[in-house]
Structure 1
Amino acid sequence: MDLARLDALAGPDGQAVLAELAGLGPAELTGPAGLRLGARLRERYPTELVVDAFGLAELRLRARAKFAGAADMWFTRDGLEQASAQEVAEHRRARFAGLGRLADLCCGIGGDLLALARDHDVLAVDRDPVHLWMAARNAAVHGLAVTTAEADVREIDLTGVAAAFVDPARRSGGRRHRTGASEPPLAWCTGLTERVAAVGIKAAPGVEHDVVPPGWEIEFVSVGRELKEAVLWSPALAGARTRATVLPAGAELLPAPGDPVPVREPGRYLLDPDPAVTRAGLVAELARATGTWQLDEKIAFLSGDACLTTPFARTLRVLDSGPWHQKTLLRRLRAVDAGAVDIRRRGLAGDVDALHRALQRGLTGSRRVTLVMTRLADRPWALICEDA
């Protein structure tokens, strides 16, 4: 979609079509009902306008998972996929508290801009005129005034800017860049500190620790046990080398010195750490904080005899524990009245999908359980658990 088509969609006819689509569900937009509605609308409005309106309406439905105000916002498919979710952006905003003017570089459709501009004067920069148009509109929808600049972020003047946030593109033309690659490259992003001391960089959750310069912090952020992204913070904003943040709780786990974590056989409960904790390398810190131990020094599962509630892990009650023998699994599952099984694997190879199909066919019980495939002191091990 180009700017002329966007302007048409923002005009009276476009808004009239969007108003007729507002509140419709996916089936009403894409199924037979959607085809009939589209045909009726094309009798009154240009076909291109109707097509664009349907496309935006579908994206607004998808965007509700990320933005509370999605119904009035503007999106492209790539822009929505790459945009930070509202709760993640709001969490990140706090790190810039007390600073002056901010630059939102590679702002896209404005996912982070909406949070940053709530209490900062923000310069939003992107070289994509469509995304920049949308970022300005999305800010206006939320009552926010921002300054925009259509430019390559590598050429923008940052005079008077106190801090910068950059979200380098990890895809272009609908295709993802190779792992670890971005545009602009990570080295350019970290080099921003030569001009602005306070810098935050959004990165893929798979970013390798060793590519991040010394003195920088790597924050891994998960939402509802799904690892969403990593954020790299320059020394002026860093608080530790790594950090695990779990939303919506807003809980943070930081490195802390302590005694080695003991390795023992499973207790009555199993803790499955949040992926932000494992990516941040903070399993030992979680174990010391919860008084638990590891089953294997190389595996992230923790165990204890008390039922613990922590935002940093899922707690499971151990129903059965023993060496891994695939031939005996069905019998063990039936013995605990399993009717449905999920499989969680760490440190043990195997075709999880094939195993799940084979086991599920033989289960008729009433319990939903989790089969944990792992290692105990370097021995293949199976635990059958249920949510605590």
Structure 2
Amino acid sequence: MDRDDTSRWDRLAGTDGTALLDRLAGADRSGDAALRLGTALRREYDAGLVADAMTLTELRDRASAKFTLAGRMWFTRDGLEQASSEVLARHRAARFAGRDRVADLCCGIGGDLVALAVAGHEVTGVDLDPTHLWMAGRNATAHGAAVRTVRADVRDADLSGVDGVFVDPARRSAGGRMRTGDSEPPLGWCLDLAGRTGAAGIKAAPGIDHGTVPPEWELEFLALGRELKESALWSPALAGARTRATVFDPAGTHTIAGDPDPADGDTGVAVGPPGAWLLDPNPAVTRAGLVSQLARRTATTRIDPRIAFLTTDDEPAPTPFARVLRVLDSRPWDQKRLPRLLRELDVGAVDVRRRGLAGDVEALARTLRGRGSRHATVVMTRVDDRPWGLVCVAP
């Protein structure tokens, strides 16, 4: 990817390429129509130009789930896959408020670079990949922003005068995805950036080990709806809590922060058997270790000190931090009796949610599927360290 082939992208950005992209954007590209279209266009344009244009148009379609202006932006397949959604990047950019000059290291196609520039920072993007740097500059222009890009190994980047830095270290190599916790540059090098610039943010995988994050840093987990996307580490100058869970949904951005639950399970939150309602915390909340914080916020109790389910007998108010379920049945786990119980409850379609018990969730869901009219969630878990099962429905 670091081969300098920006000339082909210059060509695609030229007069013929722009006209070709405009035609593709409004054309039927589904099924056989795409083959017929490609054949017709190759009679008018160079085959390589057509191939690049069709690939970019496909990527722009896919990118619309991440970026508002995807139809004007530039992507490679790897660059799009590695880029954060616009809503996450803009949230991160807000953490650099008050920082004038910010460097975006390993900037890729410029998702975070653009967000920082739109937020008003003077931004420099550094990357070794000339194609991605070319695209980062174009993507900034598409958003009406100006950025500076530098092709270099980020270890050699000139950070003089910079008062904030964001880094997205690579977690893939030529051999595939690296082990959880590994990156290039390594996490230790990224953490040292705070001492060089005063303020640093680091993008990381959602599976990061809490123990690898220095105690004075903040570890934030970010989810789009109930899908946990990534984590971010914030240096002391930008930190606000030890851990934070941030959830983005159509209603906006929601955050809960504090100290994570202690490993010994002594959370100070009451523990009791499942009641009439079950709260299934968002994965960002569970990874941040803030289940007990959520319990206090929602006036609920835990069903077990080490299990991330909350319960109450009173219908809870909706919360962006958990899925609320009504409990139809609660009893010690009995997989043999479960199919008959579901028939009695008129359950057909089944989802299985598992915490604290081993089992093949997908295989169990297939065996439990019936002909009833209700869609239920079967919960496999533990209560007072005993295997337990619940049948729940959405309210």
Letter in 1 for 2:187: L
**CA-CA distance at 1:318 after TM superposition:** 0.4
Partner residue in 2 for 1:130 = 131
- What's the Cα RMSD here? 1.5
Specify the alignment match of 1:73 in structure 2: 73
CA deviations over 1:151-175 (Å, ceiling 9, x no partner): 1111011111110011111113482
Q: Quote the offset at 1:269 in angstroms.
A: 0.3
Report the equivalent of 1:199: 200
- Structure 1's 259 and 280: CA in aligned 2 closer, same or farther, altered over 3 A? closer
Pair 1:383-2:395 in alignment = no
Q: 1:208 to 1:76 in 2, by over 3 A?
A: same
* Cα distance in structure 1, aligned partners of 2:26 and 2:338: 48
Compared CA separation, residues 102 and 79, structure 1 to 2 (3 A): same
Q: Is 2:190 aligned against 1:189?
A: yes
Task: Please give the per-residue CA displacement for 1:240-264, whole angstroms capped at 9, x wherever unaligned.
Answer: 1111111133111112699611221
Does residue 260 in structure 1 map to residue 268 in structure 2? Answer: yes
Q: Which 5+ residue runs of structure 1 have no aligned equivalent?
A: none
Q: Is the 8 A contact 2:267 2:305 kept in 1?
A: no
Work out the CA distance in 2 between the residues paired with 1:352 and 1:228. 22
Q: Deviations over 1:335-357 (max 9, x none)?
A: 22112111111111111122111
Structure-2 residue corresponding to 1:8: 11
Whether the 8 Å contact between 1:126 and 1:132 is mirrored in structure 2 is yes
Deviations 1:209-264 (A, max 9, x none): 11112211100111111101100000111111111111133111112699611221
Partner of 1:64: 64
Aligned residue in 2 for 1:335: 344
Give 1:384's aligned amino acid: V
Provide the rounded CA distance (Å) in 2 between the counterparts of 1:215 and 1:12: 53
The equivalent residue for 1:160 is 161
Give the counterpart of 1:370 among 377, 383, 387. 377
Given the two structures, how large is their TM-score scaled by the length of structure 1? 0.96
Give, in angstroms, the shift of residue 8 of structure 1: 1.1
2:267–2:292 CA contact under 8 A, matched in 1: no
Please, which of 293, 299, 305 is the counterpart of residue 297 of structure 1?
305
Normalising by structure 2, what TM-score? 0.94
Q: Number of paired residues?
A: 383
Distance 1:259 1:10, change over 3 A: closer
- State the 1:179 CA deviation: 1.8
* Structure 2 equivalent of residue 95 of structure 1: 95
Quick one: which of 269, 272, 277 aligns to 2:280? 272
Provide closer, same or farther for how the CA distance between residues 259 and 184 of structure 1 changes in structure 2, counting only shifts above 3 A. closer
- Measure, in 2, the Cα distance between the counterparts of 1:266 and 1:312: 19
Of stretches 242-251 and 134-143 in structure 1, the one that deviates more from structure 2 is 242-251
The corresponding residue for 2:32 is 32
Q: Secondary structure at the match of 1:117?
A: helix
Output the CA distance in 2 between the equivalents of 1:266 and 1:231: 34
- Percent of residue pairs bearing the same amino acid type: 62
Note the C-alpha offset of 1:94: 1.3
Amino acid at match of 1:125: V
Contact 1:29 1:54 (8 Å CA) reproduced: no
Q: Matches of 2:267 and 2:384 in 1, distance apart?
A: 19
Distance in 1 between residues matched to 2:134 and 2:248, nearest whole Å: 30
Q: Given that residues 78 and 174 in structure 1 are in contact (C-alpha distance below 8 angstroms), is that contact kept between their aligned partners in structure 2?
A: no
Counterpart residue identity of residue 348, structure 1? L
- Match of 2:323, SS state, is strand
Per-residue deviation, 1:326: 0.8
**Which stretches in structure 2 are left out of the alignment for 5+ residues?**
none
Q: Distance in 1 between matches of 2:134 and 2:173?
A: 18
Q: Say if 1:105 and 1:126, in contact at 8 Å, map to a contact too.
A: yes
Q: Structure 1's 55 and 174: CA in aligned 2 closer, same or farther, altered over 3 A?
A: farther
Q: C-alpha separation between the residues in 1 aligned to 2:175 and 2:75?
A: 14
Letter of the structure 2 residue corresponding to residue 34 of structure 1: A
Q: 3-state SS of the aligned residue for 1:254? A: strand
C-alpha separation in 1, matches of 2:267 and 2:299: 12
CA distance in 2, matches of 1:366, 1:176: 42
Q: What are the equivalent positions in structure 2 for 1:38-53 lying under 5 Å apart?
A: 38-53=38-53
2:324 is matched with: 315
Q: Given the superposition, is the C-alpha separation of residues 344 and 31 from structure 1 closer, same or farther in structure 2, using an over 3 Å criterion?
A: same
| Matched residue SS, 1:322 | strand
Counterpart-to-counterpart distance in 1, 2:242 and 2:289: 10
CA distance in 1, matches of 2:189, 2:389: 46
Structure 2 CA distance for aligned equivalents of residues 23 and 166 of structure 1: 37
Q: CA distance change for structure 1 residues 259 and 33 in 2, over 3 Å: closer, same or farther? A: closer
SS in structure 1 at match of 2:292: helix
Alignment match, 1:227: 228
Deviation track 1:126-147 (CA, whole Å, cap 9, x = no partner) reads 1110000000000001110111
